[in-house]
Amino acid sequence: MAILPHDARITIYLHGRVIGHVRDGVFEKTLARSRHFLRRPPAIAFDRATLRDARQAGATRVRIMEREQGDVYEADLDEVERYGFPVQRGHGDQVALHLSRWTVNGQPPRTARTAAETKALQPGLFDQGEVGR
């Protein structure tokens, strides 16, 4: 494999259309939330072939620039492959990652990784001391 210049950009295609670019180990795409994000469940989907091509081009992370609200979503490519779920909605073989697993504008994902984190994110009704008052 040839060594690419630091600012080199590799274009990722699907059916002859530009899907995104890989630069410095990041697969970057620009999407419109209203058109490209799944609503139920809330997630971002990718054609599996584009993820494979991005990994072959050196990507280890995915970055989505959302053009309507200006948010930036980031996730490790391994996370997309590990926690993604299959999507078959007439747009080819896709995998989607729930929005709760994405870093948004630099803020960490909301998905808990341990039982303690789950309890911290979703305290029980009786833990709040408000019942019966």
- Is 117 among the domain residues? yes
Identify the band that residue 30 occupies on the pLDDT scale cut at 50, 70 and 90. very high
Domain extent for 48 = 10-128
Percent of the chain with pLDDT over 90: 67
- Is 23 among the domain residues? yes
- Is 65 among the domain residues? yes
- Three-class SS of the chain: CCCCCCCCCEEEEECCEEEEEEECCEEEEEECHHHHEECCCCEEEEEHHHHHHHHHCCCCEEEEEECCCCCEEEEEHHHHHHHCEEECCCCCCEEEEEHHHCEECCECCCCCCCHHHHHHHCCCHHHHCCCCC
Residue 121 pLDDT: 42
- Is 5 among the domain residues? no
What's the mean per-residue pLDDT of the chain? 83
Domain count of the fold of the chain: 1
Identify the band that residue 110 occupies on the pLDDT scale cut at 50, 70 and 90. confident
Instruction: Report the pLDDT averaged over residues 52-64.
Output: 97
- Is 2 among the domain residues? no
- Is 133 among the domain residues? no
Residue 133 pLDDT: 38
- Is 4 among the domain residues? no
Identify the band that residue 109 occupies on the pLDDT scale cut at 50, 70 and 90. confident
- Is 44 among the domain residues? yes
